[in-house]
Structure 1
Amino acid sequence: MIVTAAPSFKQVVREIWKPLALLFVWDVIVTITYFLLPFRAPSLPLTLFGSALALFLGFRSNSAYQRWWEGRGLWGLMINASRNLARQARNFLPDDEALDMKRTIVLRQIAYVNALRCQLRRQPVDAEVHRFLSKGEADFALARTNVANGIVDGTSRRINLARQNGWIDTIQQTAMESVLIDIANAQGGMERLKNTPLPNQYRFFPTIFTHLFCILLPIGLVETLGLATPLGSTIAGLMFLIVLAIGDDLVDPFANTAHDLPLCAMCRTIEIDLLQAIGDEAPEPMKPDKAGVLW
């Protein structure tokens, strides 16, 4: 996620130079053709086309941003639920008998959020997951199709074992299980966003209509702008292409690009809070890179 007030100039140029160059070349071709072979093009149909397209792209961008913000809200719930689970494990379980169990539950939650991050980004499970699980625990979770869910199931079994050993009562077990339910619900919402793209009509038709509009735009403007057509038409067409790109950038909040949610940073936040909750040394928060992107 870009966290600076304005994206870097290099980032902007890298993303727009190709469509900008194509638009400019096409606009120059239309302008030269107009002066060699003058023609007239009605402007009203193009105006109506542009107005309808702007509304269509606006609805699409709003839908994409709603998905992006819902993903951020679900990760906010995950951060809070992780803190709640660590606090319950620290306060409910006795220090003398269940110290290892307490630490295991907290460390498993750190491994869980990192495993979920990898799943949402379609990446293999990385070292951050193995670092907080013992080999036997890691092997059991990695054998599952849904690794993150396997880690949560293992945590639930440990909470049940703590109740069987008399370290917590049924009321405390119910409270901890309710937090695990919140965690599972948040994961389910994230998986829904990841596995359910925008309807095909919201992806295919805006792309076709936007490119068609950019092709027709200089034809409708050249009679009015004349030699300034390459400049004016290119800028106007680029605005529509940028709005189209905004929807593409936001529609998948877990795609691991500069415009997506900073899952690594949020996992680090959880790691810091949970390690400090059990008195362990915690790493520093993640910072944006040189391009102002927080991953």
Structure 2
Amino acid sequence: MIVTSAPRTKQILREVWRPLALLFVWDVVVTVVYFVLPFRAPSLPLTLFGSVLALFLGFRSNSAYQRWWEGRGLWGLMINASRNLARAARNFLPDGEAVDLKRTIVLRQIAYVHALRCQLRRQSPDQEVLRFLSRGEADFALARTNVANGIVDGTGRRIELARSKGWIDTIQQSSMERVLIDIANAQGGMERLKNTPLPVQYRLVPTLFTHIFCVLLPIGLVETLGVATPLGSTVAGLMFLAALAIGDDLVDPFANTVHDLPLNAMCRTIEIDLLQSIGDPAPDPAAPDKQGVLW
């Protein structure tokens, strides 16, 4: 996620320069033909076309932002649930014979959020899981298709083990299970966002209409702007192409690009809070890189 306050003009141009360059060439061609050949440019209702296109792009951008913000809300719930689980393990489990289990549950939750981050970004979670869990502790989850869900299942088994040994009662077990349910629900929402793209109409129609509008734009402006048509048409086209690119950037909040949610930073926040809850040394908070991007 870009966290700098100044607009990243270079990033915008990097994303739209190819269609913008083609648009500029087309504008020049239309302008040259208009002055060389004796023809009158047709009068096009560009205002009407532009208004309709703006509605399409605005609706698409709003839909994409809603997906992005929902992903951020789900990760906020995940951060809170992780803290709640660590606090319950620390407070409910006795310090004597259950101290190892208390530590295991906390480390498993840290491994879980890192595994979930990798899964959402279509990366292998094995190395991240093994940073916090031993091979024997992680084997059950790593053998599953959904590694993150396997870690949560294993945590639930260990909570049941604590109840069977009398370390916690059924009320405390139910309280911890409710936290695991919140975690599973948040993961399900994230997977829904990741695996369900916008309908093809939301993606195809605005893209098609934007390119058609950019093609018609110099034809409708050349009689008014004259030799300034390439400049005016290109600037107007840039606005619509940038609005189109915004929707593409936000539609998948877990795609591991500069526009997506800073999953690394949020997982680091969980890691810090949970390690400190059991008295272990914790890493420093994640910071933006030199380009002002927080990953």
TM-score, scaled to structure 2:
0.97
Partner residue in 2 for 1:95:
95
Q: Percent identity?
A: 82
Structure 2: segments with no counterpart, 5+ residues: none
- Cα deviations across residues 59-113 of structure 1 (Å, max 9, x unaligned)? 0100000000000000000000000000000000011110100000000000000
Q: How does 1:231-270 map to 2 (within 5 A)?
A: 231-270=231-270
Distance in 1 between residues matched to 2:179 and 2:241, nearest whole Å: 44
Partner residue in 2 for 1:181:
181
CA contact (8 A) 2:254 2:260 kept: yes
Partner residue in 1 for 2:196:
196
Distance in 2 between residues matched to 1:148 and 1:106, nearest whole Å: 14
Partner residue in 1 for 2:3:
3
- Cα deviations across residues 32-58 of structure 1 (Å, max 9, x unaligned)? 1111123221132x2211110110110
Measured after TM superposition, the shift of residue 8 of structure 1 is 3.7
CA contact (8 A) 1:8 1:292 kept: no
Measured after TM superposition, the shift of residue 126 of structure 1 is 4.7
Partner residue in 2 for 1:205:
205
Structure 1 residue ranges, 4+ long, deviating more than 6 angstroms after superposition: none
Matched positions, count: 294
Distance in 2 between residues matched to 1:152 and 1:39, nearest whole Å: 70
Deviates more, 1:55-64 or 1:124-133: 124-133
Q: SS of 2:280's equivalent?
A: coil
Partner residue in 1 for 2:229:
229
Partner residue in 2 for 1:148:
148
Distance in 2 between residues matched to 1:120 and 1:179, nearest whole Å: 21
- Cα deviations across residues 175-213 of structure 1 (Å, max 9, x unaligned)? 000000000000000001111111110011111111111
Distance in 2 between residues matched to 1:13 and 1:282, nearest whole Å: 39
Distance in 1 between residues matched to 2:10 and 2:60, nearest whole Å: 27
Partner residue in 2 for 1:289:
289
Is 1:82 paired with 2:96? no
CA contact (8 A) 1:2 1:292 kept: yes
Structure 1: segments with no counterpart, 5+ residues: none
AA partner of residue 33 (structure 2)? T
Measured after TM superposition, the shift of residue 159 of structure 1 is 0.3
- Cα deviations across residues 213-263 of structure 1 (Å, max 9, x unaligned)? 101100000000001101100010111111111001101000000000000
Q: What RMSD over aligned residues (CA atoms) do the two structures have, in Å? A: 1.0
Distance in 2 between residues matched to 1:51 and 1:13, nearest whole Å: 24
Partner residue in 2 for 1:41:
42
Partner residue in 2 for 1:171:
171
Distance in 2 between residues matched to 1:223 and 1:138, nearest whole Å: 70
Distance in 2 between residues matched to 1:138 and 1:10, nearest whole Å: 43
Distance in 1 between residues matched to 2:30 and 2:161, nearest whole Å: 75
